[in-house]
Amino acid sequence: MALQDVCKWQAPDTQELSPHLSQAGGWAVPRGCDPPTFLQTQGPRLAHGTTTLAFRFRHGVIAAADTRSSCSNYVACPASRKVIPVHQHLLGTTSGTSADCTTWYRVLQRELRLRALREGQLPSVASAAKLLSAMMSRYRGLDLCVATALCGWDRSGPALFYVYSDGTRLQGDIFSVGSGSPYAYGVLDRGYRYDMTTQEAYALARCAVAHATHRDAYSGGSVDLFHVRESGWEYVSRNDAWVLYSELQKLPELEEQEEKEASQVHPEPATPAQSW
């Protein structure tokens, strides 16, 4: 840029990728062993995330996640936050290694802010996704694990992108990410319509995550729910997953009970002469 050239100042992000991440310059790697194998066999067990989902519909994008953070078979944290705000109109659901997700999201926040200042407007969700996947694809093969769905509202309306740390970047209407995703997909695919109301969307997201936490060992805790509208993102609720699932189980019984009561109050028409 012109001003940069006049001042002979090098913008930090045009240098080595994210220099602030490594003070010594260059990542420390163990000798004699490639990093993924080393980390798998000898490294410490890291905190992993689990069931997250996001879908876009007429009134915005819904992002929901469980809150269990596990290290092998130990629940390191039952109340972690897996949906990270990037800016007012962009959220990311995170799954994979927690440290990777939080660090790369911090880098993404910084990059988007710099671009917004330089260009005068925030980049679109598509370009934010491209930025994230390009940054991470340079570390491909090194056992980074970030599986995330970027949910936002930009000039093209509600937008949803799935980004994985090997560089995958996909646009779609529904994504569920993590070990509990197959269970969530089953519920989501059944109940999804683009023209849902907001309350229906909230109910669908909660239902899907609750079912996933019921069946997946690595998902549990509570269910966080976020909604990205035209005016920005909003933290809707945090509900305990077990309580939610029990309420869902009670729903058929409640319906049956209501039907029974309805049929008692208005009995089948018998002979007209019958009286109470």
Piece in contact with other proteins (CB under 8 A), picked from 44-52, 129-137, 196-204, 235-243: 44-52
Member of 10, 41, 121, 275 binding other proteins (CB under 8 A)? 41
| Binding-residue total with other proteins (CB under 8 A) | 39
Identify residues 134-153 at the interface with other proteins (CB under 8 A). Answer: 142-144
Member of 53, 55, 83, 100 binding other proteins (CB under 8 A)? 100
Closest distance to other proteins from the beta carbon of 105 (Å) = 12
Is residue 50 annotated as part of the catalytic site, yes or no?
A: yes
Member of 3, 8, 15, 44 binding other proteins (CB under 8 A)? 44
Start-to-end C-alpha separation, the chain: 90
Closest distance to other proteins from the beta carbon of 30 (Å) = 5
Nearer to other proteins, 45 or 113 (CB): 45
Q: Does 98 bind other proteins (CB under 8 A)?
A: yes
Member of 50, 51, 52, 80 binding other proteins (CB under 8 A)? 80
CA distance 260 to 233: 42
CA distance 8 to 33: 42
Piece in contact with other proteins (CB under 8 A), picked from 69-77, 160-168, 172-180, 204-212: 69-77
Q: Does 15 bind other proteins (CB under 8 A)?
A: no
161 contacts 126 by C-beta, under 8 angstroms = yes
Identify residues 178-217 at the interface with other proteins (CB under 8 A). Answer: none
- Beta-carbon-side half-sphere exposure of residue 97 (alpha carbons within 13 Å): 14
Nearer to other proteins, 10 or 23 (CB): 23
Bridge partners of 56, per DSSP, are: 61
Closest distance to other proteins from the beta carbon of 203 (Å) = 28
CA distance 161 to 142: 23
187 contacts 208 by C-beta, under 8 angstroms = yes
Q: Which of 41, 50, 97, 102 is catalytic?
A: 50
Identify residues 102-121 at the interface with other proteins (CB under 8 A). Answer: 102-103
Closest distance to other proteins from the beta carbon of 45 (Å) = 7
Active site residues: 50
Q: Residues interacting with other proteins, by CB under 8 A?
A: 20-24, 27-30, 32, 35, 38-39, 41-47, 69, 71-74, 76-77, 80-81, 97-103, 142-144
